[in-house]
Amino acid sequence: MRAAFARVGFTQNQVYSISTYLNILAAFLFVSVQYYLWSAIFEHAVHGQYSLSDMLQYVLAAEVLSVCLHSNADRQLGQMVRTGSLAHVMLKPVAFTEQIFFESLGVNAYRLLFICVPLVLCSIFAFGVEYHFGPARLAGFLALAGLAYIFIYLFELLLGLISFFSVNTWGINSLKMAVITVFSGRFLPISAYPENFRALVDELPFKIMYFEPLNFLIKGGDWAGMFIRQCGWIAAAFLVVFYLQRALLKKMVIQGG
């Protein structure tokens, strides 16, 4: 059943082939903006832990993560609440949370193949970006990214539950993007943030989404420490989502179709 949901997610994307070409074009455009922007910035000496090559690897890998690491749980749940289809979904013998999770795995497998692979290939062959990490580093990164996926899913589920109160899922989505933009290291390694702001970001859980896996990939570091921290935040997020969901479903009112 779970594999079936993943297959549905994968094949939903496969219908129109022109989109594959446009995705390749989009990847090329993205890499070129990043390549030229960072090359221009690094023309003037930059003080920091990241060299130009490190920075390019970071922003490109961050893009790869952002393409694959989202479950869309917030949007999907919001849509289910707004249209009332949540009623049907809840009648199924599978929890709707599970359905969303496994469908998203399929969607992301598609995106990994058809958006990320072109992006990485384009960065290597068109722009000569070199990726320096070895297989061990990559394996460690993949484990951390896997946990980040679960955390992001829980975070999005939490936002989706907010749509029980407000039907503006687009607004909630923007809010999510705002949080991820500054607190997760999505666009810039947190180590390059100003000192006092970095101290604040360090206390928040969002850096486990992007910064910690990516920084490990490029710079290495205390893998076990990051792993434990991620597990801790996931457990906390799980409890919040679990109890909020239970409370909300008890009081739920379905909008008539």
Partner 1 sequence: MAILSRYLKLYIVAGANNLKSLVVYKVDFIIGLVSMFLNNAMRFLILLFIFRLVDQIKGWSFDQMLFLYGFSTMVTGLWHCFFINVISLPYYVRTGGFDRFLLRPVNLLFQLTIDSLDEDGWGELLLGMILVLTAYFRLELPAAKLILLIPAVLSGTAVLIAVSLMLSSLSFVSVGGVPIMGLLVKMFEFTKYPVDIFGNTLKIVLSTVIPLGFATFYPGMMFLTENVALYLPLVLLFSAGYFMFSYFIWNYSLKFYVSSGS
Q: Which of 1, 3, 25, 228 binds partner 1 (CB under 8 A)?
A: 25
Residue 199 binds to partner 1 (criterion: CB under 8 A) = no
CB neighbour class for 87 (10 Å; exposed up to 12, middle 13-18, buried from 19): middle
Asked if residues 65 and 109 have their Cβ atoms less than 8 Å apart, the reply is no
Q: Which of 170, 207, 166 is nearest to 189 (CA)?
A: 207
- Per CB under 8 A, which region of 35-43, 93-101, 142-150, 226-234 contacts partner 1? 35-43
Residue 26 binds to partner 1 (criterion: CB under 8 A) = yes
Task: Count other Cβ atoms within 10 Å, centred on residue 244.
Answer: 15
Residue 43 binds to partner 1 (criterion: CB under 8 A) = yes
Which of helix, strand or coil describes residue 117?
helix
Residue 125 binds to partner 1 (criterion: CB under 8 A) = no
Asked if residues 54 and 137 have their Cβ atoms less than 8 Å apart, the reply is no
Residue 174 binds to partner 1 (criterion: CB under 8 A) = yes
Residue 231 binds to partner 1 (criterion: CB under 8 A) = no
- The string over 183-201, giving b where at least 16 C-beta atoms fall within 10 Å of a residue's C-beta and e elsewhere, is bbbbebbbeebeeeeeeeb
By CB under 8 A, the count of residues binding partner 1 is 39
Q: Which of 37, 235, 239, 249 binds partner 1 (CB under 8 A)?
A: 37
Q: Where does this chain bind partner 1 (CB under 8 A)? A: 15-16, 18-19, 22-23, 25-26, 29-30, 32-33, 36-37, 40-41, 43-44, 46-48, 166-168, 170-172, 174-175, 177-178, 181-182, 187-188, 192-194, 197
